[in-house]
């Protein structure tokens, strides 16, 4: 069975998320650079998508590898980084790198939480941590599930570019996932996102079990505190 995340992350995703741009990525990478200086470091952008963070990482002097499952997004990433960044098409559930290859691994803008069971999430993190050198840093940038639950907008009618889109959001009956359905009215196509509502505590636990010591936490890309209303759950883990 094809999973939703194998279908959704293509041209349509880029059209419907135009606000997730280079400026936004620049802020995220400035924060990463603060907690784990990037110059000269080997960095894996895990689920790099269209390469907006990879480009910023490269600008800050890191040696970057981007990995993603989506071919169309990797083509964008390649164009954006002018072939200066190695791009790998792979599933994060089967990471094609040698252990101890990277100084820093980033997983940004909720590029996690998509799998059917929690064990799979744990395995992905554990395998990713195996790729980090000792003393290396893992930065996980997830949505703040508390804020997602509280601020859920059940229905939105939007015009994105030239397309009219209806977006419906709900908490799944299991109370553990948020579902977002996007209906493109002009051509009748629909897409769905289904993301696990991991709390900050859940994420800390997953990271600890994967072998990381979780230190700093932030609530936004400006480095604000991880409050209940903050938009993001940004966690910094270090491998002993
Ligand atoms: C929300 S997007 C964010 C992309 C990028 N980090 C950014 O902020 O622009 C999530 C990304 O995860 C990728 N992805 C989803 N499942 C994946 C998997 N199993 N293995 C590798 N990449 C995956 C998607 O293709 C998509 O590029």
Q: What is the pLDDT of residues 22-32, one digit of tens each?
A: 889 999 999 99
How many A from CA of 47 to the centre of ligand 1? Answer: 4
Answer for the pair 43, 138: CB distance below 8 angstroms, yes or no: no
User: Is it the case that residue 11 has pLDDT exceeding 90?
Assistant: no
How many A from CA of 44 to the centre of ligand 1? Answer: 13
User: Is it the case that residue 118 has pLDDT exceeding 90?
Assistant: yes
Closest Cα to atom 2 of ligand 1: 111
User: Is it the case that residue 7 has pLDDT exceeding 90?
Assistant: no
Mean pLDDT computed over 67-73: 96
Closest Cα to atom 25 of ligand 1: 70
List of residues 6+ apart from 37 with CB closer than 8 A: none
What pLDDT does residue 19 have? Answer: 67
Question: Which of 3, 17, 66, 69 has the most ligand 1 atoms within 8 A of CB, as the residue to mutate?
Answer: 69
- Which of the four pLDDT bands, split at 50, 70 and 90, describes residue 66? very high
β partners of residue 166? 157, 183
Question: Which of 5, 12, 20, 47 has the most ligand 1 atoms within 8 A of CB, as the residue to mutate?
Answer: 47
Q: Which residue has the higher pLDDT, 97 or 13?
A: 97
Q: What is the CA radius of gyration of the chain?
A: 17
Mean pLDDT computed over 121-133: 98
How many A from CA of 191 to the centre of ligand 1? Answer: 15
Closest Cα to atom 10 of ligand 1: 111
How many A from CA of 215 to the centre of ligand 1? Answer: 25
Tokens of 147: 């804020």
Tell me how far apart the alpha carbons of residues 84 and 118 are, in angstroms, rounded to a whole number. 35
Pocket of ligand 1 (CB under 6 A): 5, 9, 20, 47-50, 52, 68-70, 73, 91-93, 108-111, 114
Query: What is the per-residue burial (b if ≥16 Cβ within 10 Å, else e) of 68-86?
Result: bbbeebbebbbebbeeebe
What pLDDT does residue 194 have? Answer: 97
Phi, psi of 128 (to 5 degrees): -65, -40
Q: Which of 10-14, 65-69, 130-134, 149-153 has the lowest mean pLDDT?
A: 10-14
Answer for the pair 130, 99: CB distance below 8 angstroms, yes or no: yes
How many A from CA of 151 to the centre of ligand 1? Answer: 24
What pLDDT does residue 116 have? Answer: 92
Per residue in 141-173, pLDDT tens?
999 999 999 999 999 999 988 889 999 999 999
Query: What is the per-residue burial (b if ≥16 Cβ within 10 Å, else e) of 162-187?
Result: eeebebebeeeeeeebbebebebeee
The average confidence (pLDDT) of the chain is 95
């Amino acid at each position: 069975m094809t999973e939703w995340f194998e279908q959704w992350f293509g041209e349509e995703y880029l059209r419907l998320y135009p606000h997730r741009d280079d400026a936004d990525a620049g802020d995220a990478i400035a924060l990463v650079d603060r907690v784990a200086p990037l110059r000269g470091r080997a960095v894996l952008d895990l689920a790099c998508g269209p390469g907006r963070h990879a480009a910023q990482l490269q600008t800050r002097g890191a040696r970057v590898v981007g990995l993603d499952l989506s071919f169309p997004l990797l083509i964008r990433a390649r164009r954006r980084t002018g072939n200066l960044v190695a791009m790998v098409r792979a599933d994060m559930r089967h990471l094609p790198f040698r252990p101890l290859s990277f100084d820093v691994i980033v997983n940004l803008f909720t590029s996690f939480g998509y799998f059917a069971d929690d064990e799979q999430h744990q395995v992905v993190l554990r395998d990713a941590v195996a790729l980090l050198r000792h003393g290396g840093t893992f930065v996980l940038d997830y949505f703040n599930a508390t804020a997602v639950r509280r601020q859920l907008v059940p229905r939105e009618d939007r015009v994105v570019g030239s397309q009219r889109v209806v977006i419906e959001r709900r908490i799944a009956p299991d109370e553990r996932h948020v579902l977002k359905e996007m209906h493109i009215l002009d051509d009748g196509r629909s897409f769905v996102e289904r993301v696990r509502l991991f709390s900050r505590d859940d994420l800390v636990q997953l990271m600890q079990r994967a072998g990381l010591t979780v230190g700093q936490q932030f609530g936004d890309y400006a480095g604000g505190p991880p409050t209940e209303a903050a938009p993001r759950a940004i966690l910094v883990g270090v491998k002993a």
